Each structure stands twice: as structure tokens, then as C-alpha cells.
């Protein structure tokens, strides 16, 4: 399968080789980075397996299949950047305080989003910001979610697998009992530095947020080809996530229908942003080739989607939220990212393998 970085066909033993009574036949691919790369890899893999069949180890040959497709479910795993809170700064907050007082639930690195929805974060009309717009600080509404559902301009901005059973699959993965691995002392030290520098929503003397949680109804993968950092984009992401989750509920009678109907949510305080690069391409391929197969995305939180926030007083006396991108040295920030990636892979793998063990 040349359009994938790697492709394997075989049997997964979720409890390890010491227990071969539980097994799942699977095709495992590494797509590579990016939405287009993922779509091409998934498409070619499906076509290859459908044409050639499943490898039969006993006869060392491919076994042709009677059914049109051997696939019963699709899963995509990877790392992602997350909101540090459920909710966050909200420039649409009616009392003008940016929603600061409503922030109380922090997110642990290693948390896992299981969702049948992904969208292109860069769909929408965004006006150029005035040169002095920075005076608004991080509490600012970019606003282009208002044009997100303009399919006449952008085509399909989002895909979901809700009607094909994707939400039921996500819920089943949440319900299966799973004990996520403990955070390493190295990563814990970096997370402690992050929350020590974070002034928003901070409670004095409170330990770092732990353990990680598994989320299915408050998240959807936002796909971007840029690694952005900031509360403005995080708010935009949470708004779109809420709109798409609401829209998906209305589409349960149509298979893999693309989300093109606007359903605006009043605020973004109940959602988290899960930012990555491949889910939109993955679901776009599944929706076209395997429209009746439930598909989910499993993303572990490897890092936060903004630097710690602090309040800075401007020359006119206004206190604005700003990002502190110097709370760690460049070397420590790189080490934080690597440790976060490793931990997010561990937690997302644990969710996946634990669910396989119940099949």
C-alpha cells in the first residue's frame, strides 16, 4: 500500500500473547501526517483489502471474501492538543467577564477523546484583524464559525459517522472499564510548571489535574495544517465543536451525511477543543467508500492548545489575558512535548485495547 507509511494485516491480541483466547483480525496502517495523506492512505487500504481479501496465516495466502467488504468498524488513533479546561475564555459571555468565573474543570494531559466527528478548522470566512486588535488580548471572538456551513463556498467542512453507528461505538468504548496508566514523574513535573504559570481558573494549592478522563460527548477532532496556540482559536474550536455535536444529533437517519446545516450553540463552555491533523481526511474516505461502517477517532491529549495565561495591564490600565510563552526554556518545552506524546499514545492505546478485549 504505497500511499501509507506502513500497512500490516494480522491479528491483535489485546491481552498480550499470554492470552490468545481474545483476538481481533485487523488491518493496521500508519497514514503519515496530514488530512490529505490520511485520506489517500485509507482509501488505498480499503480498496486493496476489498480486492485481495484477508491474509490467511494457516495457508500463507490471501483468502477471498464472499461479502463486498470485510470491515465491520474503523478506528483512528493519535495524539492531539487540547483545551486546558472544559470551556475557557468566552468573549460572548453576557456579563462581559470573558466567562472567567465559569471555568472550574481542568483537563489532564493523557485524557482521551473518542468521537465520530471531525471537521476542517480552516473552513469559514475570516476578516483580517485590525492592526490594533491585539488590544483585546486573548479574549477575542474570531467569529468565522458564522460562515462555517457555507457549503457553496467550501464544500463539505465536516464529516460524521453518527448515522452509521459511530456514536454508539464511541459510547461502548467509554463504558468498557479501563484503568489508564499513571503519569511519569518527568511529565508530571512539566505539567506542574504549566499549571503554576496558568492564572486562569487557578485554585491556590491545588494539585495538577489527574487522572485523565475519557470524553465522548464534549469533543470532536478539529483538523488544521498549522499548530496554533491561543485562547482565541480555542474558543473558535469549542464553538464549532458544539455546533457540530448538535447538528449530528439531527442526522442519525442518514448514513455518514456531511454536516452542512447550521445549529449554533449559545456558548462554548461545555466543550473541549481537540486539535489534530488527520481525522477529517480519514472520515471523508470512510464516508465515501464504507458508508455503513461505524468509524471513530481516538485522540490522546499530548499537550495543551495554548500557553499558560496571565493578566497584563496595558498603558491605559486595562487588564487583558495574554499568553506566557516563556514559562519553560525551549529545551524543556521540547521535552514536555515528547513526554506528552508518549503518554497520550499510552492512554489512547489502553482505551483501544481494553475495548478490543470486550469484543
Neighbours of 218 (CB within 10 A): 19
Beta bridge mates, 106: 85
The whole-number average pLDDT for the span 212-239 is 90
Beta bridge mates, 63: 54
Residue 59 has pLDDT above 90, yes or no: no
Cis peptide before 113 (omega within 30 of 0): no
- The 10s digit of each residue's pLDDT in 270-318 is 899 999 999 999 999 999 999 999 999 999 999 999 999 998 887 777 7
The whole-number average pLDDT for the span 160-187 is 87
Residue 333 has pLDDT above 70, yes or no: yes
Answer whether 72's CB lies under 8 Å from 293's CB.
Answer: yes
CA–centroid distance for 279 within its chain = 8
pLDDT score of 156:
85
List of E strands, the chain: 6-12, 24-30, 54-56, 61-63, 74-82, 112-115, 117-120, 158-160, 214-215, 221-223, 274-276, 295-304, 309-313, 319-323
pLDDT band at 251 (very low <50, low <70, confident <90, very high): low
- The x, y and z cell numbers of residue 358, run together, are 470486550
pLDDT score of 56:
59
Answer whether 119's CB lies under 8 Å from 240's CB.
Answer: yes
- The 10s digit of each residue's pLDDT in 110-142 is 999 999 999 999 887 776 665 445 556 888 877
List of E strands, 176-278: 214-215, 221-223, 274-276
pLDDT band at 194 (very low <50, low <70, confident <90, very high): very high
> Which is nearest to 89 in space by CA: 218, 238, 210?
238
The whole-number average pLDDT for the span 42-62 is 75
The whole-number average pLDDT for the span 4-22 is 86
Residue 232 phi, psi dihedral angles, 5° rounding? -65, -50
Query: Which range is least confidently modeled, 11-25, 106-120, 220-234?
Result: 11-25
Answer whether 70's CB lies under 8 Å from 265's CB.
Answer: no
Residue 66 has pLDDT above 80, yes or no: no
Element (H, E) at 300: strand 295-304
d(C-alpha 131, C-alpha 143), whole Å: 17
- Look at the block and give the residue holding cell 475557557: 88
Q: Identify the DSSP state of 4.
A: S
d(C-alpha 282, C-alpha 200), whole Å: 35
Question: Crossing angle for the helix pair 166-175 and 330-356, nearest 10 degrees?
Answer: 100
Amino acid at each position: 500500500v504505497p500511499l501509507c507509511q506502513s500497512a500490516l494485516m494480522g491479528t491483535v491480541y489485546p491481552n498480550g500473547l499470554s492470552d490468545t483466547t481474545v483476538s481481533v483480525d485487523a488491518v493496521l496502517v500508519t497514514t503519515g501526517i496530514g488530512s490529505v495523506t490520511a485520506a489517500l492512505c485509507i482509501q488505498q487500504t480499503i480498496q486493496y483489502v476489498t480486492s485481495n481479501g484477508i491474509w490467511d496465516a494457516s495457508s500463507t495466502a490471501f483468502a477471498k471474501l464472499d461479502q463486498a467488504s470485510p470491515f465491520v468498524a474503523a478506528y483512528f488513533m493519535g495524539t492531539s492538543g487540547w483545551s486546558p479546561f472544559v470551556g475557557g475564555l468566552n468573549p460572548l459571555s453576557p456579563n462581559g467577564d470573558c466567562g472567567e468565573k465559569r471555568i472550574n474543570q481542568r483537563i489532564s494531559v493523557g485524557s482521551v477523546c473518542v468521537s465520530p466527528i471531525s471537521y476542517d478548522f480552516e473552513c469559514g470566512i475570516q476578516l483580517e484583524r485590525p492592526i490594533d486588535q491585539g488590544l483585546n488580548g486573548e479574549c477575542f471572538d474570531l467569529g468565522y464559525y458564522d460562515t462555517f456551513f457555507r457549503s457553496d463556498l467550501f464544500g463539505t467542512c465536516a464529516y460524521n459517522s453518527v448515522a452509521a453507528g459511530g456514536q454508539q461505538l464511541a459510547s461502548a468504548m467509554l463504558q468498557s472499564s479501563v484503568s489508564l496508566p499513571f503519569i511519569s514523574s518527568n511529565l508530571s513535573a512539566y505539567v506542574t510548571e504549566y499549571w503554576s504559570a496558568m492564572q486562569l481558573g487557578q485554585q491556590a494549592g491545588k494539585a495538577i489535574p489527574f487522572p485523565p478522563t475519557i470524553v465522548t460527548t464534549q469533543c470532536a477532532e478539529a483538523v488544521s495544517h498549522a499548530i496554533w496556540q491561543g485562547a482565541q482559536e480555542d474558543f473558535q474550536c469549542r464553538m464549532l465543536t458544539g455546533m457540530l455535536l448538535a447538528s449530528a444529533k439531527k442526522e442519525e437517519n442518514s448514513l455518514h451525511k456531511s454536516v452542512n446545516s447550521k445549529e449554533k450553540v449559545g456558548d462554548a463552555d461545555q466543550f473541549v477543543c481537540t486539535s489534530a491533523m488527520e481525522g477529517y481526511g480519514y472520515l471523508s474516505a470512510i464516508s465515501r467508500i464504507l458508508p455503513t461502517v461505524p468509524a471513530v477517532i481516538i485522540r490522546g491529549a499530548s499537550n495543551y492548545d495554548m500557553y499558560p495565561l496571565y493578566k497584563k495591564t496595558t498603558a491605559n490600565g486595562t487588564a487583558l489575558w495574554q499568553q506566557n510563552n516563556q514559562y519553560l526554556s525551549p529545551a524543556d518545552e521540547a521535552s514536555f512535548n515528547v513526554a506528552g506524546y508518549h503518554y497520550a499514545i499510552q492512554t489512547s492505546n489502553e482505551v483501544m485495547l481494553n475495548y478490543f478485549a470486550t469484543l
